[in-house]
Each structure stands twice: as C-alpha cells, then as structure tokens.
Structure 1
Amino acid sequence: MRSRTVANLSPKLSARVLEVNVRPGDSVKQGDVLARLDDRELRAAHEAATAALAAAQARAAQATADEKRAAALYDKQAATQQDYDAALAQAKAARALVGQAAGAARQAQVLLGDNSLRAPFDGVISERLKEPGDMAMPSETVVTLYQAQALRFEAAIASQCAASVSRGMTATVRLDALAPTLSAQVDEIAPDIDPHTHTRLLKLSLPAAAGVRHGQFGWLELSCQAERQALLIPLGAVLQYGQLQAVKVVEDGRLHTRHIRTGKRYGDQIEVLSGLRDGETLLADGGLAL
C-alpha cells in the first residue's frame, strides 16, 4: 500500500540539522516547519548581499546626480559632449550593478528560506531519517511525508495473467488490518516483466476507507484464466555449482552436463525455464528419468 504523493525532503545545500520538529505518524499542514538547519553561513551571505545592494544603490544615486549635472552643464554649453557621454555611461553602469546586486540579494534570501524544510502539502510523516546534530546533504532525505488520501495498492502478478488485466477494470483487495474487502480499480500496468520473478506490477486505486494506511500489507484477489505449460523435472536431478544449476542429459548414449535455469518448485519437482526441451532424457536420483 503506497500513497500517490510522497515527498522526500532534503536541503539544497549541506548544513547541520538543528531541529527536527516531527516524528513518524505526525499529521502536518502545508507550510509547517518540519526541520530547521544551521543557517549561519547563509545568513552571513544574505547580510553581505544586502550590504552590497545598499552600496550599489548609493553609487547609482551619485552617478544619476552626476548625470543630471552634466546634462545641465551641457545644455548651457558649459560641458563638452564627451563629459556628458561619460556621465551618462557611468550612470547606466551603476544602475546595472544595482540590478545585479538586487538579484544576488534575492537569491541569498531564497537560500536562507530554504534552510527551513516545510511541508509541501497536508500529510503524515512516514520517516524521520536525521536527528539534531547530523549533517544533512542535498541528496539525503531528512523526513519523508506522504498524503494520507488517494492511496493505491501495488501487487506483482504472473506475467501470463497480465493479458487478462486492463486499465479501469475492478479487482478485490483484502488488507491484513481490515476484515472487509475493498473494491479497487486498476490504475497502472507496468509495461516491463521482471526477469527474475516473471511478474508485472499492477497499481490499483483504492476508495477512501477507515483504517487504510500507507505501508499496509494486503492481497489482491484476481482470477487468472490463462493457460500455462511448464516443463517439470525431479528436484534430485538438479546439480548446484555455486550460483549455477545443471543437469546430466543423456545424448547418444553419453552423459553431458547441461546448464539450466529453474523456476517454481512443485513438491518434489521443479520447473525448468530454459536449458531443456520436452522429451529429453536426464539422470535423476541415480537412474534415468524421462
């Protein structure tokens, strides 16, 4: 059982954790401060950027005044064209520097605000992965938050059964903590087949129900009418060589070692996924088995 909306909150810059205000299971509102990080360096950078902006504004004001005086003198033919052009260029450059300093100050303000991790939506805390005193890195989650509504059930089904499943169809889900079953709707069908388990992942939307929680375990009740053929051999015929499996196959009156890949076990027999063909003869339990 997983929520559609999960947020892993981490800082944009490396910083030491000062406070973590929530624990798993706590309900929070959008905008609540979940954790606070050491912001001394960012605060110093913001103060420096603010001071640089004030200095740039002062220089721009002086340059603008010089431009006005040069314009007045030029109108009275008391200043040359070169003097006026120089004052005009200095005023434009000073105003451009004000724009750059203002951008740096805004960026410093944003970074300073980002050092408090806030809830992006109303939800429930599922994990608290950092404690006060820990270093928090941009790639490391401090807290995980999920939306309690709009849960969906995820289940892996046999690949041969996936053909009978389509988006929008309904299926029954039984949860371990709830006595009644829930009617769920198939929302997503994974396009790929897991090469190890030969299954495909289904995601089903669940209706709102009391007692349903993120992370709960359950079962998907789904009828599978697909026919499936399996090649079974005696379990004792399989030889194990570390991670490899093999059998002794009889060919032209001689024994040959053949590597195989096995699947599910059925009692004293096991399914062969690759490496053998139906009708071949192999050695099993010290004798020949068909």
Structure 2
Amino acid sequence: MLRRFSGIFVLSIGLLVGGEALSSEIIEVGSHKDVEHVYLGGSVVPYKEVTLSAQMPGRVEYIAGDEGDSFTAGTLLVTISDENLLAKRKAAVAQYDQAVAALQNAQVQYNRELWSPRSENATQMPGMGMPGIFDQMFTKQIGDTLGYGDKDVQRRADLYNSGASVNQAQSQVRSAREAINQIDAALRDTRSIAPFDGTIIKKMVEVGDTVQPGMPMISFANMDYIRIQTEVPVRLVPYIKVGDTVKAYLDVSGVMIPAKVAQIYPLADKSKHTVTVKFDLPIGTRGVPGMYAEVSIPVKNSKPSTSIIIPKSSILKHMGSLPSVLVMNDKNEAELHVVRLGKKVNGGKSFTVLSGLKPGDRIIDHPPRNWKPGTPIK
C-alpha cells in the first residue's frame, strides 16, 4: 500500500524476524530547507546563586545542612564563633553607662549654674566665716566700682563652661552608642542568612574549621528554575534579543526544548571576543547546575540551507561504531550505507544527514535487527 506522510512516499513491508513481526517501511528521503543555525555549547546554571563568605575571623560552629538540603529565605545557614565580640560588647556597654552617668552629672551642674550662679554664691568667694562675709559685702562691691571684676561676665563664663561639659558628655554618649552598634554589626556578620528560598549546592567548610574574612563557606542557589549560560561570539549577538525563543538541547533529556533569551551581558570578553548570554528554560525542565547544554542561534540573514532528514528509527547502531542505514538500490535490494549525522530535529525524533545520502534515496525505516548483507527484502 502506498501512503503519503508529510510529502514523503512510504511503502509498508511486513517482515518476520525470529518469529516476531516487525513493521518496516521504505521511505524516500527528501530535502529540507532551513535557516543556518550555529550550535553553541554552554552549561546549566541556577536561576539565582550566591556564595556566602566569612565576614569575620573565627571558628565555624554551625552549618544548617548538607548539599541538596533546601531552606526558606531568612533561615540561619552558618554561624561563626562570637565569644570575643560578646566580651567587647559588654565592655562597650559599660563605657556607655559611664558616659550616660557623666552626661547626667553635666546636666545637673548646668542647671545649678543656670538657677544658682556660683558668681553670686557667698560660699564660693575666697575666705571663711567673717572674711567671706567681708569679701561678699565690701571687696566684691569695691571691685565692681573700680572696674576690677564683672559678675555678669563671670556668670556667662561659668554657664558656658557648664554647657560645654554637657556637650562633651553628649558626644561621649553618642560615641559609646556607636561603638555598641559597630559590635552588633560585627555580630550579625558572624551569622549567614539565606537571602532567598534555595538549596545548598556546595559546602566549602565544615563545623570546627577556622575561617578568615573573605573565605567562601557555602554556595546557595534557587533551583526552582534553571538557565543555560553560554558564550556567544560577538558576530552572532545582533541576531538575538531579550525575549527571543531559540532551541536548546540538554544531555539529560536528549531532546530539543525551547529556551528564552533572558539576559545579554553589555560587555564582551576581551580575550575570547564573546558575550555572555543566559537563556531561561521552561518550568519543570530536568537538569542540574554544571550540566552540558547546547543552544541553536539562527543566522537570520543567511541563505536557507538544504539538508537531508531521516528518522532516528532508521539508523542502525549494531552494525558498528558508525551510524548506518539500509538503502534500496535499483534492484530493490538493501545496501548498507554509512552516514554522517548532523543535528537533531523534530524534538530529537530525526537527524540531519551531512553525507552518505542524497535526495531521492529510498531507505528502510525500522530495519530488521538481524539484517545481514545479502539478505533480500521482499
């Protein structure tokens, strides 16, 4: 029976191999025109990834989990010893209390000078008993008359001195408070918090390790979504833009899947002359960071190329290390042809053929597994 599938003539043939009926078909290969594509290798990366590094020196006291453990945003992941900082904080609190006491005393002295000036207090004048009274009644008055002293100036000077003491005490209180805040900030740096929902993908330290500022401790990533990151030659960057959809291939799936251009870096690498591009993969795509991946970049201004496509099911793999197909000759006899395969198409169900076939050749789809040269196909 002659049937037509997508412009290809197919002839059904029933074969018996080892008592098992196989449905083999003779199909006529055709040509396929497509825009030129450039295939670029890359790696799977998480949607978000951070490396939590030590901000303070110390000893690792706590790690929330191991690689593969997931945590929500705000979860404590790593803590570093803080005994030294806690001791410094207690000392800073004591200095703060002293500064507050000094401020209160300075305010009391200022208020006393404001309401009971020392310049008018008899007990503050030189002498004791009758000499003090004499100084208060006669010496001060004579001095004012002769211009030897001015009680108003003395009062303002005493008041200013008391006010300066208050200001100095306030500055000491602020300085002590900021010292406490500085230590509190250092204490916060001994605790690494999950910045978002994610998973620990790598641990660089263990409990008991000694760390220094800048030393990486764990890598934390959001694995709900994955991306492909690849280096695109500068000449191909004009052919893509953010939001475009291209085809991608992952080793884990073995099929082509759509990938959306998510980010194009603004600068090119000076040595490689490439631009880093990230592609978003569909939700639920299986993959792990570091996995090999490929993306297909269409060269839109190129002339359409003609290629031969054959189904994956027509390829013989048991005849040797090289892929082969059975080709029908003019005598309706099957011949083994070694082919060179190109890229996967149609979701991985077909391959392009770079050499070994020409348009119009007839090949066997679903060939018998035990076929040997010279075996007739009727």
Q: TM-score, normalised by structure 1?
A: 0.69
Change in CA separation of 1:45 and 1:184 when aligned onto 2, cut-off 3 Å? same
Instruction: Determine the C-alpha separation between the residues in 1 that align with 2:270 and 2:176.
Output: 54
Residue 27 of structure 1, CA deviation:
0.5
Counterpart residue number, 2:136:
none
Residue 160 of structure 1, CA deviation:
4.7
The answer as to whether partners of 1:46 and 1:112 remain within 8 angstroms in 2 is no
Change in CA separation of 1:70 and 1:223 when aligned onto 2, cut-off 3 Å? same
Counterpart residue number, 2:72:
29
SS of equivalent residue, structure 1 residue 148:
strand
Equivalent of 2:268, from 171, 177, 192?
Answer: 192
Report 1:173-188 matches (<5 A).
Answer: 173-178=248-253, 180-188=255-263
Counterpart residue number, 1:282:
none
Residue 206 of structure 1, CA deviation:
2.1
Residue 186 of structure 1, CA deviation:
1.6
SS of equivalent residue, structure 1 residue 153:
strand
The answer as to whether partners of 1:10 and 1:137 remain within 8 angstroms in 2 is no
Counterpart residue number, 1:201:
276
Q: Percent identity?
A: 23
Instruction: Determine the C-alpha separation between the residues in 2 that align with 1:201 and 1:102.
Output: 47
Give structure 2 stretches of 5+ with no counterpart.
Answer: 1-43, 125-154, 303-378
Equivalent of 1:20, from 43, 63, 80?
Answer: 63
Residue 100 of structure 1, CA deviation:
1.0
SS of equivalent residue, structure 1 residue 166:
coil
- Deviations 1:226-257, CA, capped at 9 Å, x for gaps: 77xxxxxxxxxxxxxxxxxxxxxxxxxxxxxx
- Deviations 1:250-284, CA, capped at 9 Å, x for gaps: xxxxxxxxxxxxxxxxxxxxxxxxxxxxxxxxxxx
Residue 10 of structure 1, CA deviation:
1.4
Instruction: Determine the C-alpha separation between the residues in 1 that align with 2:237 and 2:158.
Output: 82
Residue 43 of structure 1, CA deviation:
0.9
Change in CA separation of 1:113 and 1:166 when aligned onto 2, cut-off 3 Å? closer
Change in CA separation of 1:88 and 1:186 when aligned onto 2, cut-off 3 Å? same
Counterpart residue number, 2:288:
213
Asked if residue 45 in structure 1 is aligned to residue 88 in structure 2, the reply is yes
Change in CA separation of 1:26 and 1:130 when aligned onto 2, cut-off 3 Å? same
Asked if residue 59 in structure 1 is aligned to residue 102 in structure 2, the reply is yes
Asked if residue 101 in structure 1 is aligned to residue 101 in structure 2, the reply is no
Instruction: Determine the C-alpha separation between the residues in 1 that align with 2:158 and 2:233.
Output: 84
Instruction: Determine the C-alpha separation between the residues in 1 that align with 2:270 and 2:112.
Output: 78
SS of equivalent residue, structure 2 residue 65:
coil
Equivalent of 2:219, from 135, 144, 148?
Answer: 144
Change in CA separation of 1:19 and 1:84 when aligned onto 2, cut-off 3 Å? same
**Which amino acid in structure 2 is aligned with residue 192 of structure 1?**
A
Instruction: Determine the C-alpha separation between the residues in 1 that align with 2:301 and 2:274.
Output: 14
SS of equivalent residue, structure 1 residue 149:
strand
SS of equivalent residue, structure 2 residue 205:
coil
Instruction: Determine the C-alpha separation between the residues in 2 that align with 1:52 and 1:100.
Output: 10
Instruction: Determine the C-alpha separation between the residues in 2 that align with 1:82 and 1:161.
Output: 80
The answer as to whether partners of 1:160 and 1:226 remain within 8 angstroms in 2 is no
Change in CA separation of 1:133 and 1:193 when aligned onto 2, cut-off 3 Å? closer
Change in CA separation of 1:155 and 1:81 when aligned onto 2, cut-off 3 Å? closer
Residue 90 of structure 1, CA deviation:
0.6
Change in CA separation of 1:162 and 1:138 when aligned onto 2, cut-off 3 Å? same
Instruction: Determine the C-alpha separation between the residues in 2 that align with 1:201 and 1:106.
Output: 41
**Which amino acid in structure 1 is aligned with residue 204 of structure 2?**
L
Counterpart residue number, 2:187:
112
Residue 164 of structure 1, CA deviation:
3.0
CA RMSD of aligned residues (A): 2.7
Counterpart residue number, 1:155:
230
Query: Which of the pair has more CA radius of gyration?
Result: 2
Counterpart residue number, 2:325:
none
The answer as to whether partners of 1:161 and 1:224 remain within 8 angstroms in 2 is yes
Residue 221 of structure 1, CA deviation:
3.1
Change in CA separation of 1:113 and 1:199 when aligned onto 2, cut-off 3 Å? closer
Instruction: Determine the C-alpha separation between the residues in 2 that align with 1:157 and 1:25.
Output: 31
Residue 211 of structure 1, CA deviation:
2.7
- Deviations 1:178-220, CA, capped at 9 Å, x for gaps: 3554311123345426745x65433212232153433333222
How many residues are matched? 227
Instruction: Determine the C-alpha separation between the residues in 1 that align with 2:240 and 2:160.
Output: 77
Instruction: Determine the C-alpha separation between the residues in 1 that align with 2:112 and 2:207.
Output: 59
**Which amino acid in structure 2 is aligned with residue 83 of structure 1?**
D
Instruction: Determine the C-alpha separation between the residues in 1 that align with 2:164 and 2:227.
Output: 63
Instruction: Determine the C-alpha separation between the residues in 1 that align with 2:98 and 2:269.
Output: 63
The answer as to whether partners of 2:234 and 2:268 remain within 8 angstroms in 1 is no
Give structure 1 stretches of 5+ with no counterpart.
Answer: 228-290
